[in-house]
Amino acid sequence: MRAKISEDLKAAMKAGDKQRVGTLRLINAAIQSAEIEAKKPIDDAAVLAVMTKMVKQRRDSIEQYTNGGRPDLAAVEQAEIAIIEAYLPKQMDDSAVAAAVAAAIAETGAASVKDMGKVMGVLKAKYAGQMDFQKASAAVKGALG
């Protein structure tokens, strides 16, 4: 994945696509920061986690910019999200998340909200980068509660 990002960065630089170059450099910087924090090279799953976090941060920024009356800055953040999401696996829809939650509950034998950690652990292991775990957490609580 990192090699693809680097190749795309070079291509964007040659094409003069400033928005794409800036976003890809931000991705590389975030990955390097995660590696420094981990004190070793990170695997693709960790890269996906970093990029998912970047998308979440940008969505929060869009909300704040929209509430603050700055649609121009919100548009820049939305463009960055589009570039970052091109590297992420396709996100699961609500029905697929519900099915995955039900399967994880059955797999772990979870019976109450106390078992939520087990279920979330299974979901994170199987569906890293493919689902919004905040929504999945709410679904698990609803199913177990």
pLDDT at 29 exceeding the cut of 90: yes
Residue 75 and residue 113 in one domain: no
**59, 85, 111: which is the final residue of a domain?**
85
C-alpha 97/C-alpha 123 separation (Å) is: 9
Residue 125, CA distances (Å) to 83, 91, 118, 128 in order: 25, 15, 11, 6
N residues, the chain: 145
- Asked whether the beta carbons of 59 and 81 are under 8 A apart, the reply is yes
Domains: count for the chain: 2
Q: Please indicate, yes or no, whether residues 33 and 53 belong to a single structural domain of this protein.
A: yes
Which residues constitute the domain of residue 125? 94-144
CATH number of the CATH domain containing 107: 1.10.10
pLDDT tens per residue, range 111-136: 888 888 999 999 888 887 788 788 88
Query: 72-100, pLDDT tens digit by residue?
Result: 999 999 999 999 999 988 888 888 888 99
pLDDT given at position 6: 93
Contacts of residue 109, defined as CB under 8 A and 6 or more positions apart, other chains included, come to 115
**Residue 135, pLDDT score:** 84
Asked if 65 and 133 sit in the same domain, the reply is no
Residues 14 and 80 in one domain: yes
Q: Do residues 99 and 53 share a domain?
A: no
